[in-house]
């Protein structure tokens, strides 16, 4: 493997492709490709022995010396482990060598990083910040209502279709949403989020296909659906005016969980709505089912302004 990496770049690219093909998430593919390119550049930066557990430990030490975060280091090491695993599966290195490299420990996390959440007043201000006299403003208000009101990931909001929004047990629900790792769940929707979607839908003249569409500079709806990056950029338009620094779409998902929990929503119901991996274990041990009558989004305590406030929005 050391010789392969060092001298046969064509085989290296083939092996890298095998490693990337073994992951399904586009985000993971991008992260792994960047990590493997970094590892290859480091390996070639000076003369090194064939790859081994000691070589990977040396790479880890270099990453730590560079002051990278534990999460960044662990992603890069995970990519190298995946590469080595694929090399072993294809007979390029002995299985025992791959097993040794797999035992390289990741970087330890010291403490818990503080998350970025909005207080209820800030969340309401963000949802009501877009100018609803414009089509783009109506879309953005509906978008933020779904991100905060339902706790969706930005990729899930981008993929949201009108067919997902259905009535169940007398309330609106996002049905059969495909989330991370292909897990399917249903997410209750607060009435105020449905109102915001209806106002956007009526103004845009759409009721089928993707819910959230691009709006051009002429304030007209264009073809296709919003991408995750477009959602990030849409959020950025409003954060500086509200004094919200470095706010990301995923922080709105955290805000959903935080506000629902502070509103005394049951923890297992929040987990079900978010679709976390631990939900399946919780369901098996506790027999928990999604409570549509008393859903987490009912505990957010938020509303839409009928008329935008004239006073300047404060953080």
Q: Residue 26 maps to which CATH number? A: 1.10.150
Same domain, 285 and 194: yes
**Closest to 51 in 3D by CA, of 106, 20, 92:** 92
Instruction: Domain count for the chain, please give it.
Output: 2
Q: Of the candidates 102, 136, 166, which is a domain's last residue?
A: 102
pLDDT greater than 90 at residue 17: no
Distances (CA, A) of 145 to 11, 73, 196, 217: 48, 35, 7, 23
Same domain, 44 and 138: no
Same domain, 81 and 151: no
What is the reported pLDDT for 112? Answer: 41
Beta strands in the chain (DSSP E): 165-168, 171-178, 184-188
What is the reported pLDDT for 20? Answer: 86
Same domain, 86 and 204: no
**Closest to 280 in 3D by CA, of 181, 190, 189, 154:** 181
Same domain, 12 and 126: no
Q: Of the candidates 76, 102, 128, which is a domain's last residue?
A: 102
What is the reported pLDDT for 284? Answer: 45
Coil, strand or helix at 35? helix
What is the reported pLDDT for 245? Answer: 77
Residue 35 counted as domain residue:
yes
Which range is least confidently modeled, 21-25, 51-55, 201-205, 277-281? 277-281
Same domain, 71 and 15: yes
**Angle, vertex CA 67, rays to CA 104 and CA 52, nearest 5:** 25
- Owning domain of residue 264: 120-299
Same domain, 269 and 178: yes
Q: Read off the pLDDT of residues 80-101 as tens digits, 9 standing for 90 and up.
A: 999 888 888 888 778 898 899 9
Q: What is the CATH number of the domain that holds 169?
A: 1.10.443.10
Q: Read off the pLDDT of residues 121-159 as tens digits, 9 standing for 90 and up.
A: 999 999 999 999 999 999 999 999 999 999 999 999 999
């Amino acid at each position: 493997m050391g010789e392969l990496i060092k001298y046969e770049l064509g085989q290296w690219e083939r092996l890298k492709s095998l490693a990337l093909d073994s992951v399904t998430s586009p985000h993971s593919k991008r992260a792994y490709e960047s990590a493997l390119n970094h590892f290859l550049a480091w390996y070639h930066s000076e003369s090194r022995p064939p790859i081994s557990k000691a070589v990977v430990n040396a790479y880890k030490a270099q990453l730590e010396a560079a002051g990278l975060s534990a999460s960044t280091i662990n992603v890069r090491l995970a990519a190298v482990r995946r590469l080595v695993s694929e090399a072993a599966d294809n007979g390029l290195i002995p299985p025992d060598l791959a097993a040794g490299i797999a035992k390289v420990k990741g970087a330890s996390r010291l403490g818990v990083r503080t998350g970025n959440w909005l207080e209820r007043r800030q969340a309401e201000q963000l949802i009501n910040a877009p100018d609803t006299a414009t089509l783009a403003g109506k879309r953005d208000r509906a978008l933020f209502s779904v991100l905060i009101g339902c706790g969706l990931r930005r990729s899930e909001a981008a993929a949201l279709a009108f067919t997902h929004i259905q009535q169940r047990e007398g309330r609106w629900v996002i049905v059969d949403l495909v989330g991370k790792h292909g897990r399917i769940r249903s997410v209750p929707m607060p009435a105020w989020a449905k109102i915001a979607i209806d106002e956007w839908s009526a103004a845009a003249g759409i009721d089928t296909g993707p819910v959230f569409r691009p709006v051009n500079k002429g304030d007209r709806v264009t073809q296709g659906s919003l991408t995750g990056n477009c959602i990030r950029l849409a959020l950025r338009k409003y954060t500086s005016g509200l004094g919200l620094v470095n706010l990301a779409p995923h922080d709105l998902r955290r805000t959903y969980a935080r506000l629902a929990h502070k509103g005394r929503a049951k923890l297992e119901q929040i987990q079900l709505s978010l679709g976390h991996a631990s939900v399946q274990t919780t369901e098996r041990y506790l027999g928990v089912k999604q409570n549509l009558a008393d859903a987490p989004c009912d505990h957010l305590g938020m509303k839409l302004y009928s008329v935008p406030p004239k006073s300047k929005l404060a953080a």
